[in-house]
Chains A and B, each alone.
Chain A
Amino acid sequence: MKLSLKDWPHIKVGGLIFLLTLSLSSAIILLSKNYLENIHASQNSSQQLLNEARRKLAGAREDRGNMNAYTAEYSALLNHNILNANQRLDWIEGLDKLKQQNHVLDFKYTISPQQNFVPNPPLDHGNFELKQSAMMLQFELLHEGQLIHFFDALHTQVKGRYILEQCVLERKGTVADNSPVSAFNTTAQIRATCNGGWLALHNRNAP
């Protein structure tokens, strides 16, 4: 069938209705599609928020568990001035107190400036920076038991955490006469030199 302009009056109503329907249909499809896409986007956003809320709740629960498990120990660390502190006065006062308690015949100590501390093997220290003030101790001992008692007392009575790294105990008589400690108490049987450091943890997130 061939159409010509003369046929337009016969099909104009149908044609116009078709065009109108086409426009309306397109509008309906586009609008509904847009609506659905917007809803999808909103749904995705809500889902993300929900996931985030679930994550936060799980995190809060984990934090609660951690706090329940570690608060007491953490408090003890705070009490011992191990965290965010460099309480040299505490160490000196504590060591003086130990001297008066005569756990050993005599001892001397040297504390070096604080430096970064890298444990061996390496450990995960999270948000904390590890610092150490090296301290060398020289002892005059009657017997090795005195050394043990001294370090027990150092651990329990002095605020701070002394990390003992090495010790050398030598029976007197095997040490050269010109050693620095030969002028000390001559009843000492054992001379000991120990090296370690006072540990400090600095929290990067602390105000």
Chain B
Amino acid sequence: MSNKLLLFLSAESFHSYLWVNKTLASEQHFVDTAEGREQFSQFLLTQPSTPTYLLTDFIEEDFRHETVPHLRGSERSGMLQRKFEQYYRNTPFRQALLLQRSNEGRRDEDVLFSALTNPTHFSPWLGILLANSIPLAGIYSVPNISAPLVKDINSDHLLLLSWEKHAGLRQTYFNHKRLHFSRLVSVNSSKPFGEVVATETARTEHYLDSLSLLPQGQVLDVVMVCHAKQRKEIENELKNTDAMHFSYLDIQTLGKKLNTTFDYVESDATPLFLHLLATKPPASQYASAEHKHFFNLLNFRRNLLGLSAALMLGSLIWGITNLWAGYSLNSNSESMHVEIQQLTQQTQKIIQNFPGTPGFSKALATASDMKTAVLLVRKLDQHSPSPQVILADLSMVLNVFPNIKVNKLAWHLNSIRSATASPEHVILLNGELQKWSGNYRDGLAYLEDFQQTLSKHGHVVTPIALPLDVSASGSIAINENIDKPAQFELKILWRPQP
């Protein structure tokens, strides 16, 4: 938590404290004289940018409870402004604290209007703060910062009593833990403190009763913040009645509970309230926007610095991330370059060791061309097999059919594109039956047998002409000369075996 400058101002005195490392320190007192104000001004020069909190404890602080309609925005602001003008026209130090809002009907609001009605007490000091451009965070009052002291006390109607050495006896009334009223009385040292407390407490109780803030027959719980040393003295004076019930909060115990490091040697609650101000400043306070201008500038400046730091940190992280990513990629690139070099060397080695063609220069043809040339010639050889290959099967079958005399034999590569990979050759066999007796049936059967045998050897045989065309579409001309040879012509399709 950063340092703070805490100022405590009452009708009788003006003190400053530094809040350093969660501790009150360096208390200074300034008298309300020209010299005192000059000393204060000089003191402020040593704290130019320290956030400053002004705590006031005046008798002239007025409280007015009112129920107002629930409004928003400019309507609400206008309504509150009219109320301020109505009740607190002569002071700029005023505030409206929302106590609660009804859940039914118009949802009216319970509002506590309060004001420091005598600004002449602190206007000079305030003027010095503004003249020195001190960042004033707010102007607070003891009643407004007392709520944390009562939050754990189980009472709906509570009167909190505290004594500030330089101000007096503060009596603050809480209704259902909400501030409703407060008054400060000077403590006359001529009377016992306990007696003063008893007297003033009774007055306050009557006042609350007169305002009907206490329900009929309601017992007011009065809680006194005091030191253990003084408790006995006070206890002797404060007796429980039908209207009031007294209890005590040990200031040292309270201090420890609030984690203060201050050593309370007496019942002065000023350090306690200053601790509350430093650690839990309430949102509501009396300073206007004009009074808080330098505090807002301080926050703006700090936000700019914070933003700058965040921006710098973010950009450094971004930059470092990019650099790291780049470094990783660079390492990767280097390993790639090494691999490229190795691959290139391997490639060169392979190329240098390419087998050369005997008797010829190594650079005569690429491997791809070699492969193309060899496969091409192989394919062409497939397309033009030797006569021996083409006629081998036919020759073998002809040996088994000696009556067939071949007069003409022709073959060529089939020009019709074949659906299969291997080419097809067309063999035209023109022959005649020898030793034919003129028996057409025997002759045709012989030829049929010949064709079947060729088919079994993988040939596709189509008769073009037979000795006698006995098909339904053929014409028949019988010649009485039986010596005429029985001629025939066959078309045989041959394909190389895979």
Point out residues on A near B: beta carbons under 8 Å. Answer: 1, 3, 7, 10-11, 13-15, 17-18, 20-22, 24-26, 28-29, 31-33, 35-36, 39-40, 42-43, 46-47, 49-50, 53-54, 56-57, 60-71, 73-75, 77-79, 82-83, 119-121, 123-128, 130, 144, 147-148, 151-152, 155, 161, 163-171, 174, 196, 199, 201, 203, 205-206
Contacts and interface: CB of A to CB of B under 8 A. Distances in A.
Interface in B379-417: 379-381, 383-384, 386-388, 391, 395, 405-413, 415, 417
11 contacts: A1-B300, A11-B297, A21-B312, A46-B337, A120-B413, A121-B423, A124-B372, A130-B376, A163-B383, A205-B369, A206-B365
A38 to B, nearest CB: 8
A24 B312 contact: yes
Given A3-B300, A43-B333, A144-B395, 11 more contacts: A1-B300, A22-B308, A29-B315, A36-B325, A43-B336, A69-B371, A75-B359, A83-B373, A147-B387, A165-B384, A205-B369
Contacts of B304: 11, 14-15, 17-18
B466 to A, nearest CB: 19
B133 interface: yes
B365 A75 contact: no
A21 B313 CA distance: 10
A36 B388 contact: no
A167 B354 contact: no
A70 B326 contact: no
Interface stretch (B52-60, B112-120, B167-175, B342-350): B342-350
Given A50-B336, A121-B418, A66 B371 contact: yes
Contact of B369 (A64, A130, A203): A203
The dominant DSSP class at the A interface is helix
Interface stretch (B153-161, B189-197, B234-242, B288-296): B288-296
B307 to A, nearest CB: 6
A120 B366 CA distance: 27
Given A1-B296, A42-B333, A120-B413, A125 B369 contact: no
A206 B369 CA distance: 10
Nearest to A10: B297
A60 B343 CA distance: 11
Interface stretch (B16-24, B316-324, B452-460): B316-324
B342 to A, nearest CB: 9
Interface residues of B, number: 84
For the complex of A and B, 8 pairs with smallest distance between CB atoms: A166-B412, A63-B367, A25-B315, A126-B372, A32-B322, A21-B308, A14-B304, A14-B301
Contacts of B368: 63, 66, 126-127
Contacts of A28: 315-316, 318-319
Nearest to B351: A60
Given A63-B368, A78-B360, A120-B417, A36 B351 contact: no
Given A39-B329, A199-B380, A56 B347 contact: yes
Interface-centre pick from B289, B297, B314, B387 (highest chain A CB count, 10 A):
B387
A26 B443 CA distance: 106
A20 B314 CA distance: 15
Given A11-B300, A22-B311, A163 B380 contact: yes
A201 B373 contact: yes
A10 B391 CA distance: 114
A57 B360 contact: no
A123 B367 contact: no
Contacts of B302: 14
A66 B407 CA distance: 48
Given A43-B329, A70-B370, A144 B409 contact: yes
Contacts of A68: 355
